[in-house]
Amino acid sequence: MNGSIVLRRTVRLKITQGLHIRACSNVIALVSRHSGQVRITYGDKTADASSMFDLVQLAAVPDSMLELEATGDDAEQVLNELEELLSKPEEPSS
């Protein structure tokens, strides 16, 4: 991730339907408000968290463990917000 310091956090996906289209849209909206790069890893697949295609390809199911990685000045903030979003059983309505 461009030689910057990378912050990592592991979270359990609690969204009832897993990482489906609406959940991916919420992740993209959250990530787009931050500088730096964010990646999400599930198993052997890693996704750019700003890419719908990448996120959907993860096919992460409820109760799976996701590794979040972020760079940039607000990396800790974006990880906190992603953890909050992904760790709730129900996602917020859009």
Q: What tens digit of pLDDT does each residue of 22-76 get? A: 999 999 999 999 988 999 999 999 999 999 999 999 999 999 999 999 999 999 9
Query: What is the dotted CATH code of the domain comprising 8-86?
Result: 3.30.1340.10
Spatial distance between the Cα atoms of 12 and 68, rounded to a whole number of angstroms = 11
Q: Would you say the pTM of this structure is higher than 0.85?
A: yes
The ranges assigned to domains in the chain are 8-86
Q: What is the dihedral of CA 39, 66, 56, 26, to 10 degrees?
A: -80
The amino acid sitting at 43 is: G
pLDDT band at 88 (very low <50, low <70, confident <90, very high): confident
Strands (E) in 1-92, as ranges, are 7-12, 38-42, 45-48, 65-70
